[in-house]
Amino acid sequence: MSTRHDCIFCRIVRGEIPARKVHEDDEILVFHDINPHAPVHFLMIPKVHIDNLYDAGPDHHPVLGRMLGMAGELARREGAEDGFRVVINNGRVGRQEVYHLHVHVLGGPEPLGPGMNRR
Ligand code: AMP
Ligand code: ZN
């Protein structure tokens, strides 16, 4: 695993900045978003530093698959039992703020605001 000295999420991985952890294993860390946009809002990150999906190559496919595969179980465990959204912001147009790939998991209990279907 390689982390970057100046990256805030790598610092969380190294334990230099505290986070409210939801799950941790060899290659994935999951923690609550510090500024939640929904009652359930946590972030899933690969421990290895990748800026965003532009940098995801075949080596990263297994960990990306594992993150999506775990999202439902963790969302349910955190209280999003009636549905949730998964969002990955990439680059300037995607309004990415932290350049360490992260999957936002956002959920209820009440319906979230407008999404892709504009409802
Ligand atoms: P974005 O890069 O736009 O997908 O969003 C970055 C997200 O990281 C925002 O929702 C922030 O609230 C969140 N965030 C930034 N710093 C921390 C931190 N130290 N712990 C938890 N979440 C954070
Ligand atoms: Zn990083």
What's the structural domain count of the chain? 1
DSSP annotation of 112: P
Q: Which domain holds residue 27?
A: 8-107
Give pLDDT tens digits for 46-77.
999 999 999 999 999 999 999 999 999 999 99
pTM over 0.85, yes/no: yes
19 within domain boundaries: yes
Q: What are phi and psi of 74, to 5 degrees?
A: -70, -40
Pocket residues: Cβ below 6 A from ligand 1: 8, 17, 19, 31, 33-35, 43, 89, 95-98
CATH number at residue 81: 3.30.428.10
71 within domain boundaries: yes
For the annotated catalytic residues, the residue numbers are 102
Counting ligand 1 atoms within 8 A of each CB, the residue from 7, 13, 34 with the most, and so the one to mutate, is 34
97 within domain boundaries: yes
28 within domain boundaries: yes
- Cα separation, 107 vs 31, in Å, equals 14
- Based on its alpha-carbon atoms, the radius of gyration of the chain, rounded to whole angstroms, reads 14
117 within domain boundaries: no
Tokens of 59: 């080596």
- Cα separation, 29 vs 5, in Å, equals 17
Tokens of 75: 């969302």
